[in-house]
Amino acid sequence: MKTEKEKMLSGELYSAVDPQLLEELNAVKSIIHQYNNLPPTAYEERFLMLKDLLGYMADDKTLIIQPFYCDYGKQIRVGKRFFANFNFTVLDEAFVTIGDDCFIGPNVSIYTACHSTDPIERNSRREWAEPVTIGNNVWIGGSVTILPGVTIGDNVTIGAGSVVVKDIPSNVIAAGNPCRVIRETPPNLPKGGEEENESARERGNENR
């Protein structure tokens, strides 16, 4: 017989008040509290805490500005050179997979938890979760909300304040509530060396 956590990770209905899940949630809250209260200059300690908290980090260049919030952490997987600005919030009841060279603006939220629109069923505290996937070279503007089950392709810009409710294809700029494709863009990837690309990222960070 499956545990409630196994049901959660397989996308089945599960009890959100299961004792094992509540214990894990509270343990992560304590870790997040410690992380958010570290000095901004404690780079190595912040990195080591993220390495233990998240399910996967592709390299040692991951940077998540405090404060950061998540439910479990272990369902979050990020690619190379990942950057997230203030108030990045991830409800990772299902997997949240983010590719290489992704920028996350301030106040971005990614949700995987789903609740019934039937109030009786919703009040039973039974829910399910759907994964979110974000490709490579994606910029998510400030105050964007990404809903459960969404896939965003490669080389995408999501405009600030958007609510992403459906999949977004690769090589586009999209914005709005609900988020829609505004125009297509050629896959114009950086052609310089790593040093040049790092410099470009630093300039981008200054403009956030």
- Beta strands in 33-87, from DSSP E residues, in sequence order: 56-57, 63-64, 68-70, 76-78, 83-84
Cα separation, 149 vs 156, whole angstroms: 17
Say if residues 76 and 90 touch (Cβ distance below 8 Å).
yes
Q: In the annotation, is 33 catalytic?
A: no
Choose the catalytic residue: 61, 74, 115, 126.
Answer: 115
Compute how many other C-beta atoms are within 10 angstroms of the C-beta atom of residue 158: 26
Q: Which residues contact 23 (CB under 8 A, 6 or more apart)?
A: none
Q: Could you list the active site residues? A: 115
